[in-house]
Protein backbone atom coordinates (compact mmCIF):
# COMPACT_ATOMS: atom_id res chain seq x y z
CA UNK A 1 0.00 0.00 0.00
CA UNK A 2 1.33 3.44 -0.90
CA UNK A 3 2.35 5.80 1.88
CA UNK A 4 -0.25 8.29 2.96
CA UNK A 5 0.65 11.95 3.16
CA UNK A 6 1.38 13.58 6.50
CA UNK A 7 -1.58 15.95 5.98
CA UNK A 8 -3.96 13.01 5.58
CA UNK A 9 -2.67 11.29 8.69
CA UNK A 10 -2.68 14.42 10.86
CA UNK A 11 -6.25 15.17 9.76
CA UNK A 12 -7.34 11.63 10.65
CA UNK A 13 -5.56 11.72 14.02
CA UNK A 14 -7.35 14.97 14.88
CA UNK A 15 -10.74 13.64 13.77
CA UNK A 16 -10.37 10.54 15.94
CA UNK A 17 -9.27 12.39 19.09
CA UNK A 18 -11.99 14.02 21.23
CA UNK A 19 -11.12 17.61 22.12
CA UNK A 20 -9.70 18.03 25.61
CA UNK A 21 -9.76 20.90 28.07
CA UNK A 22 -6.05 21.54 27.65
CA UNK A 23 -3.90 22.38 24.61
CA UNK A 24 -2.88 18.99 23.23
CA UNK A 25 0.45 18.39 21.55
CA UNK A 26 0.71 16.40 18.33
CA UNK A 27 3.43 13.79 18.67
CA UNK A 28 5.32 11.60 16.27
CA UNK A 29 6.21 8.07 17.39
CA UNK A 30 9.13 6.53 15.47
CA UNK A 31 10.03 2.84 15.69
CA UNK A 32 13.48 1.79 14.49
CA UNK A 33 14.71 -1.61 13.30
CA UNK A 34 17.93 -3.44 12.37
CA UNK A 35 20.17 -1.15 14.43
CA UNK A 36 22.58 -1.95 17.25
CA UNK A 37 21.55 0.77 19.68
CA UNK A 38 24.44 -0.03 22.01
CA UNK A 39 26.58 1.78 19.41
CA UNK A 40 26.40 5.55 20.09
CA UNK A 41 26.42 6.53 16.40
CA UNK A 42 23.13 4.65 15.94
CA UNK A 43 21.34 6.79 18.51
CA UNK A 44 19.46 9.91 17.48
CA UNK A 45 20.45 13.07 19.36
CA UNK A 46 19.27 16.08 17.38
CA UNK A 47 17.78 19.54 17.69
CA UNK A 48 15.69 20.67 14.75
CA UNK A 49 14.11 24.06 14.03
CA UNK A 50 10.66 23.12 12.77
CA UNK A 51 9.62 25.07 9.65
CA UNK A 52 6.26 26.03 11.20
CA UNK A 53 7.34 26.17 14.84
CA UNK A 54 6.04 24.07 17.69
CA UNK A 55 2.74 25.89 18.12
CA UNK A 56 3.51 26.59 21.76
CA UNK A 57 5.94 28.59 23.86
CA UNK A 58 9.49 27.26 23.88
CA UNK A 59 11.69 28.81 26.54
CA UNK A 60 15.38 29.61 26.05
CA UNK A 61 17.86 30.66 28.74
CA UNK A 62 21.33 32.15 28.37
CA UNK A 63 24.24 31.92 30.83
CA UNK A 64 26.52 34.87 30.20
CA UNK A 65 28.44 37.94 31.21
CA UNK A 66 26.59 41.20 31.99
CA UNK A 67 27.39 42.39 28.46
CA UNK A 68 25.96 39.23 26.89
CA UNK A 69 22.86 39.32 29.08
CA UNK A 70 22.20 42.93 28.12
CA UNK A 71 22.33 41.85 24.48
CA UNK A 72 19.79 39.03 24.90
CA UNK A 73 17.37 40.89 27.17
CA UNK A 74 13.93 40.78 25.60
CA UNK A 75 14.94 37.88 23.33
CA UNK A 76 15.84 35.10 25.77
CA UNK A 77 13.29 34.00 28.36
CA UNK A 78 15.89 33.88 31.11
CA UNK A 79 19.25 35.63 31.41
CA UNK A 80 21.52 34.02 34.02
CA UNK A 81 24.51 35.95 35.33
CA UNK A 82 27.67 34.41 36.82
CA UNK A 83 26.40 35.41 40.28
CA UNK A 84 23.09 33.62 39.72
CA UNK A 85 24.99 30.63 38.34
CA UNK A 86 26.90 30.45 41.64
CA UNK A 87 23.59 30.44 43.52
CA UNK A 88 22.20 27.65 41.34
CA UNK A 89 25.30 25.52 41.93
CA UNK A 90 24.63 25.61 45.66
CA UNK A 91 20.86 25.08 45.41
CA UNK A 92 20.02 21.79 43.74
CA UNK A 93 16.27 22.32 44.08
CA UNK A 94 16.44 25.67 42.27
CA UNK A 95 18.68 24.15 39.59
CA UNK A 96 16.21 21.33 38.95
CA UNK A 97 13.31 23.78 38.68
CA UNK A 98 15.24 25.88 36.18
CA UNK A 99 15.96 22.84 34.02
CA UNK A 100 12.28 21.82 34.13
CA UNK A 101 11.11 25.32 33.14
CA UNK A 102 13.57 25.88 30.28
CA UNK A 103 13.63 23.96 27.00
CA UNK A 104 17.04 25.06 25.65
CA UNK A 105 20.16 26.61 27.15
CA UNK A 106 22.99 28.65 25.65
CA UNK A 107 26.15 29.70 27.49
CA UNK A 108 29.17 31.86 26.78
CA UNK A 109 32.05 29.49 26.15
CA UNK A 110 34.19 30.50 29.18
CA UNK A 111 31.34 29.43 31.49
CA UNK A 112 30.91 25.99 29.93
CA UNK A 113 33.51 24.11 32.06
CA UNK A 114 31.93 25.39 35.29
CA UNK A 115 28.40 24.61 34.10
CA UNK A 116 29.43 21.13 33.01
CA UNK A 117 31.19 20.38 36.28
CA UNK A 118 28.58 21.78 38.66
CA UNK A 119 25.26 21.54 36.79
CA UNK A 120 26.01 18.74 34.34
CA UNK A 121 24.41 16.19 36.68
CA UNK A 122 21.09 18.06 36.29
CA UNK A 123 21.37 19.17 32.66
CA UNK A 124 23.03 16.11 31.10
CA UNK A 125 20.44 13.38 31.77
CA UNK A 126 17.74 15.65 30.33
CA UNK A 127 19.73 16.38 27.17
CA UNK A 128 19.86 20.06 28.05
CA UNK A 129 23.56 20.86 28.23
CA UNK A 130 24.02 24.40 26.84
CA UNK A 131 25.29 25.16 23.39
CA UNK A 132 28.45 27.29 23.67
CA UNK A 133 28.46 30.89 22.46
CA UNK A 134 31.62 32.78 21.48
CA UNK A 135 32.26 35.61 23.96
CA UNK A 136 30.85 38.89 22.69
CA UNK A 137 28.69 37.26 20.02
CA UNK A 138 25.05 38.13 19.32
CA UNK A 139 22.93 34.98 19.75
CA UNK A 140 19.61 36.60 18.78
CA UNK A 141 19.14 34.53 15.62
CA UNK A 142 20.12 31.34 17.46
CA UNK A 143 17.62 32.04 20.23
CA UNK A 144 14.85 32.70 17.72
CA UNK A 145 15.64 29.41 15.93
CA UNK A 146 15.57 27.49 19.21
CA UNK A 147 12.12 28.89 19.95
CA UNK A 148 10.94 26.92 16.90
CA UNK A 149 12.98 23.85 17.74
CA UNK A 150 12.33 20.37 19.06
CA UNK A 151 14.80 18.01 20.72
CA UNK A 152 14.88 14.47 19.31
CA UNK A 153 16.47 11.79 21.52
CA UNK A 154 16.23 8.06 20.94
CA UNK A 155 18.72 7.21 23.72
CA UNK A 156 18.98 3.40 23.61
CA UNK A 157 15.35 2.86 22.63
CA UNK A 158 13.94 1.52 19.38
CA UNK A 159 10.82 3.63 19.93
CA UNK A 160 11.01 7.35 20.66
CA UNK A 161 8.76 10.38 20.38
CA UNK A 162 8.98 13.99 19.23
CA UNK A 163 6.51 16.88 19.41
CA UNK A 164 5.66 18.24 15.95
CA UNK A 165 2.91 20.74 16.70
CA UNK A 166 -0.28 21.38 18.62
CA UNK A 167 -3.93 20.69 17.96
CA UNK A 168 -4.56 24.38 17.25
CA UNK A 169 -2.16 24.41 14.28
CA UNK A 170 -3.48 23.85 10.74
CA UNK A 171 -2.85 20.21 9.69
CA UNK A 172 -0.82 21.39 6.69
CA UNK A 173 1.65 23.20 8.98
CA UNK A 174 2.00 20.21 11.30
CA UNK A 175 2.55 18.03 8.22
CA UNK A 176 5.41 20.28 7.07
CA UNK A 177 7.03 19.86 10.48
CA UNK A 178 6.61 16.08 10.28
CA UNK A 179 8.19 15.89 6.84
CA UNK A 180 11.17 17.99 7.97
CA UNK A 181 11.69 15.94 11.12
CA UNK A 182 11.50 12.59 9.36
CA UNK A 183 13.91 13.78 6.67
CA UNK A 184 16.44 14.70 9.38
CA UNK A 185 16.04 11.37 11.19
CA UNK A 186 16.31 9.29 8.02
CA UNK A 187 19.47 11.19 7.04
CA UNK A 188 21.09 10.14 10.34
CA UNK A 189 20.31 6.42 10.08
CA UNK A 190 22.85 3.97 8.68
CA UNK A 191 20.43 2.55 6.10
CA UNK A 192 18.09 5.49 5.93
CA UNK A 193 14.43 4.68 5.77
CA UNK A 194 15.22 0.96 5.80
CA UNK A 195 16.01 1.40 9.50
CA UNK A 196 12.50 2.70 10.21
CA UNK A 197 9.95 0.06 11.22
CA UNK A 198 6.98 2.41 11.46
CA UNK A 199 5.87 5.97 12.20
CA UNK A 200 2.66 7.01 13.98
CA UNK A 201 0.96 10.36 14.61
CA UNK A 202 -1.23 11.07 17.64
CA UNK A 203 -2.52 13.83 19.87
CA UNK A 204 -1.56 13.74 23.56
CA UNK A 205 -4.65 11.72 24.53
CA UNK A 206 -5.80 10.45 21.15
CA UNK A 207 -5.33 7.18 19.24
CA UNK A 208 -2.24 6.61 17.09
CA UNK A 209 -2.62 6.73 13.30
CA UNK A 210 0.05 5.11 11.13
CA UNK A 211 1.95 7.29 8.66
CA UNK A 212 4.63 4.79 7.52
Rounded to whole angstroms, how far apart are CA atoms 122 and 95? 7
pLDDT for 1 beyond 50: no
Model confidence over 166-208: pLDDT tens digits? 999 999 999 999 999 999 999 999 999 999 999 999 998 899 9
Model confidence over 60-89: pLDDT tens digits? 999 999 999 999 999 999 999 999 999 988
What confidence score (pLDDT) does residue 20 get? 83
What confidence score (pLDDT) does residue 75 get? 93
Instruction: Give me the residue spans of the domains in the chain.
Output: 6-55+150-210, 60-146
Model confidence over 8-65: pLDDT tens digits? 999 999 999 888 888 889 999 999 999 998 888 888 988 899 999 988 888 999 999 9
Q: What is the 3-state secondary structure (H, E, C) of the chain?
A: CCCCCHHHHHHHHHHHCCCCCCCCEEEEEEEECCCCCCCHHHCCEEEEECCCCCCCCCCEEEECCHHHHHHHCCCCCEEECHHHHHHHHCCHHHHHHHHHHCCEEEEEHHHHHHHHHHHHHHHHHHCCCCEEECCCCCCHHHHHHHCCEEEEECCCCCEEEEEEEECCCCHHHHHHHHHHHHHHHHHHCCCHHHHEEEEEEEECCCCCEECC
What confidence score (pLDDT) does residue 34 get? 94
- Spelled out in words, what is the top-level CATH class assigned to the domain 6-55+150-210? alpha beta
What confidence score (pLDDT) does residue 176 get? 96
| Mean pLDDT within 99-109 | 94
Model confidence over 106-157: pLDDT tens digits? 999 999 999 999 899 999 988 899 999 999 899 999 999 999 999 898 888 9
Q: What is the pTM of this model?
A: 0.80
Radius of gyration of the chain (CA): 19
Contacts by residues 66-69 (CB-CB < 8 Å, ≥ 24 positions apart):
67/136, 68/108, 68/133, 68/135, 68/136, 68/139
What confidence score (pLDDT) does residue 174 get? 96
CATH homologous superfamily of 60-146 equals Ribosomal protein L1/L10, domain II (3.40.50.790)
Amino acid sequence: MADRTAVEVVTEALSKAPERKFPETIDLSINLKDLDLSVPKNRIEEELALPKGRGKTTRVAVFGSPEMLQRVRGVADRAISPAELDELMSNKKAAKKLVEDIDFFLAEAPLMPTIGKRLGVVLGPRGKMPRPLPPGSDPTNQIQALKRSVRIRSKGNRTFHAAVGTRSMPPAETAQNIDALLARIVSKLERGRNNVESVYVKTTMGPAVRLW
